[in-house]
Structure 1
């Protein structure tokens, strides 16, 4: 079920009414309603894959309870590995089976040996990368004795399948979200209103920015041979805003919807395109995934505590794995490795934590040096996104080679002024809201009520007038 669909527009008010007016006095019933609504929400896409969520839930619930009773270190480690193998086994089969098979065949063909093996027509379950990592963090934290396992199977099922963030995050930790299912929720009007603001802004970024940018980005990337370097740059920039509007828009809708039901999810995007270096960008982009890899992969590998060679190794591992998490294609691996190359100079010069505060925190405009740093970081990010969007490695390099040819000085074959104005509007709103957890929080500090409502109505009009062709969220495929 898509957030930007009529189905969801009908689904959400019904669940909201049942949640607050029918089951409010019974916590267990509220949690059961969330489980039922979440399974309906997910099953709307393909009910057959509900069994995967149910099985993963049962496995990790059982392992969590057993871990709390088991004192033997070897047996505890065995239980952890069962959880890891089950979860990553499902993820590996559905997402990476054909990738490994095709590369295995290609490797043997390179050395003159032909292997006959057929790939499988596998449908990738929506959101499997997200809820797999969510349940994995639960068992790992119990193994590390950082979390007490739950004995409430309903609460745990609701945690795993919570519909607002089920299919594209944020990837929640059990330490933050699971305890919220134990406590009676109160409807707080101010939180619900702020949630509605965040949903509105998320819808704007998805429907107006992402879907309209997609139209041009898809055309330029799919017919890249027909365009000059200047137009290819424009296409890469459109994709840069498409993926941001699409993914951060989903996160805003998910977090805002959660607040309607009395839940607080962690921020997943913190205005990353205002970053002054790549390290800051990765602290602000897909925060829930970046911190997951930091806590469960980077730090266990040694983090930045070892020598230079270990630091370089760990940075490349975390970025390459992050790229591979996004999809079974060499383009994602190269995208991850390229970001590692961007990051290394900052790490080796110990300047990767220079920009911890939001840019121009107490000023309306950035300094010239800050603006140039933002522009450089954005440009590097655009180049990396070319690999993310390209069909294959050769396609990405053909686009980049054309961009760095003389045709970069050619006149643009495509110049949609309307989309550029809409992107500019989004950037202005986000710039003045950058200190908050979302752009419309506190309504840009507009004191007059009529001014705030004028802004909301104007955004609603933009959504209605400039809505692009209905498209699935990009991260559904991951």
Structure 2
């Protein structure tokens, strides 16, 4: 069930009405409604993998209690590692087994041995990377004594499988979400209105921006060998806005949907394309994942303590693992490596925390420098996105090589595809709206909100009719 589907448009009001008008007597009944809704939401994709979700939930629930009740540090660590290895084992089997089997077979074939790998004919369970990380953060927090284990299985199950965040995040923390699930929620009209506005804006990002850019990005990437430099640059820019509109749009819909039920989720995006360097970009992009890797991998590895070489090693590990988390392909690993190479010079020069303050643009040289930095950061981000989008590393390298060498800046793609100018104007208007609202909570609220909401709904309906690209990119992760 997709957020941008008619099925979800029917599902959400039904759950909303049951939640506030039938199950409003107690916290328990509210949670029962949400857990049943969440399992139904997941089962609509493939009911068979519902058992995997329940098993993963039950595993972390029971072993968290075991860790907390253990009398010795040895037994605590034993239960922790059993839980971590079993969760990562499921993730490895479903997501990475075929990748490793194929890679090792290709390696042996390269040195003269003919190997036929045994591959698994299974599909990737949707959302497995996200709910696995929910469980792992919870179990690690229990081990380090940051929180107490949750004894109410329904409350814990809801934490793991809460349907707004189940299949594509944000990756929640038990310290933030569980306390909200432990108390009865009261209806707040203003929060619900904010939620509706955020859902609509998320749909604008997805349907109007991402899905439209996807058609043009796909056309260019699929035919890159016959495109000139200008067309290839356009393709990279289109994909940059596609993936941003797609994923941040999903996050906005998730956060807005959750507000309808009186529950706040972690903010996942903070206008990343207005970043002044790559370090700031990663503080603004997919915030819940970046902070997860920081807290549960980077800091345990030693973080920024020790020598520069030690810090560089940790940064390299984080970015490579982050790339690999996104998918079982060398292109994602290369994407992570490129971002690490962007980041390391800032780390060496102690400038990775330089741009953490808010800024304003005026007519002066300081503002000009900010604008140039933003444009350069966006440019190198687009370059890295080419590896994220390409099917193979060779394709990505060929794409960039042709983009850098075929200096025929004719209006090739403008002439063979309709509405290119209109799409660029639409992107420009979107950037202006984002810029104007970068310090506001909700872009559609405030003065003339009714007009902004009406125009947004009109754009969603108009553009939604003509776009065929419906899936969310991050569903595959």
* TM-score for the superposition, normalised by structure 1: 0.96
Q: Counterpart in 2 of 1:472?
A: 471
Q: Counterpart in 1 of 2:455?
A: 458
User: For 1:158 and 1:334, how far apart are their aligned partners in 2?
Assistant: 36
- The offset of 1:438, in angstroms, is 4.3
Q: Counterpart in 2 of 1:107?
A: 107
- The offset of 1:436, in angstroms, is 2.6
1:362-401 matched pairs, under 5 angstroms = 367-401=367-401
- The offset of 1:26, in angstroms, is 2.0
- In structure 2, do the counterparts of structure 1 residues 158 and 368 end up closer, same or farther at CA, with 3 Å as the change threshold? same
User: For 2:120 and 2:158, how far apart are their aligned partners in 1?
Assistant: 32
On the 8 A contact 1:95/1:328 being kept in 2, the answer is: yes
2:432 aligned with 1:433, yes or no? no
- In structure 2, do the counterparts of structure 1 residues 361 and 298 end up closer, same or farther at CA, with 3 Å as the change threshold? farther
Bigger shift: residues 407-416 or 69-78: 407-416
Q: Counterpart in 2 of 1:422?
A: 426
Mind listing any 5+ residue stretches in structure 1 that lack a counterpart? none
Q: Counterpart in 2 of 1:28?
A: 28
User: For 1:363 and 1:437, how far apart are their aligned partners in 2?
Assistant: 27
- The offset of 1:236, in angstroms, is 0.7
Q: Counterpart in 2 of 1:311?
A: 311
- In structure 2, do the counterparts of structure 1 residues 209 and 113 end up closer, same or farther at CA, with 3 Å as the change threshold? same
The CA deviation string for residues 6-34 of structure 1, in whole angstroms up to 9 with x for no partner, is: 00000000000000000101211111111
On the 8 A contact 2:277/2:377 being kept in 1, the answer is: yes
User: For 1:339 and 1:115, how far apart are their aligned partners in 2?
Assistant: 34
2:196 aligned with 1:199, yes or no? no
User: For 2:430 and 2:258, how far apart are their aligned partners in 1?
Assistant: 23
Q: Counterpart in 2 of 1:276?
A: 276
TM superposition outliers: structure 1 runs of 4+ over 6 Å: 361-366
- The offset of 1:432, in angstroms, is 1.0
Q: Secondary structure at the match of 1:232?
A: helix
Q: Counterpart in 2 of 1:245?
A: 245
User: For 1:452 and 1:37, how far apart are their aligned partners in 2?
Assistant: 31
On the 8 A contact 1:321/1:336 being kept in 2, the answer is: yes
On the 8 A contact 2:94/2:124 being kept in 1, the answer is: yes
- The offset of 1:408, in angstroms, is 5.0
- The offset of 1:309, in angstroms, is 1.1
- In structure 2, do the counterparts of structure 1 residues 237 and 345 end up closer, same or farther at CA, with 3 Å as the change threshold? same
- In structure 2, do the counterparts of structure 1 residues 361 and 260 end up closer, same or farther at CA, with 3 Å as the change threshold? farther
The CA deviation string for residues 344-389 of structure 1, in whole angstroms up to 9 with x for no partner, is: 1111111111111233289999811110000000000000000000
Bigger shift: residues 409-418 or 174-183: 409-418
- The offset of 1:423, in angstroms, is 1.3
- The offset of 1:38, in angstroms, is 0.3
On the 8 A contact 1:359/1:366 being kept in 2, the answer is: no
On the 8 A contact 2:194/2:442 being kept in 1, the answer is: no
User: For 1:64 and 1:388, how far apart are their aligned partners in 2?
Assistant: 36
User: For 2:312 and 2:442, how far apart are their aligned partners in 1?
Assistant: 34
- The offset of 1:46, in angstroms, is 0.4
On the 8 A contact 2:185/2:262 being kept in 1, the answer is: yes
Q: CA RMSD in A?
A: 1.6
1:151-300 matched pairs, under 5 angstroms = 151-300=151-300
User: For 2:361 and 2:159, how far apart are their aligned partners in 1?
Assistant: 36
- The offset of 1:418, in angstroms, is 1.9
On the 8 A contact 1:171/1:288 being kept in 2, the answer is: yes
Mind listing any 5+ residue stretches in structure 2 that lack a counterpart? none
User: For 1:319 and 1:138, how far apart are their aligned partners in 2?
Assistant: 22
* TM-score for the superposition, normalised by structure 2: 0.96
Bigger shift: residues 110-119 or 275-284: 110-119
On the 8 A contact 2:361/2:367 being kept in 1, the answer is: no
On the 8 A contact 2:64/2:149 being kept in 1, the answer is: yes
Q: Counterpart in 1 of 2:139?
A: 139
User: For 1:439 and 1:346, how far apart are their aligned partners in 2?
Assistant: 32
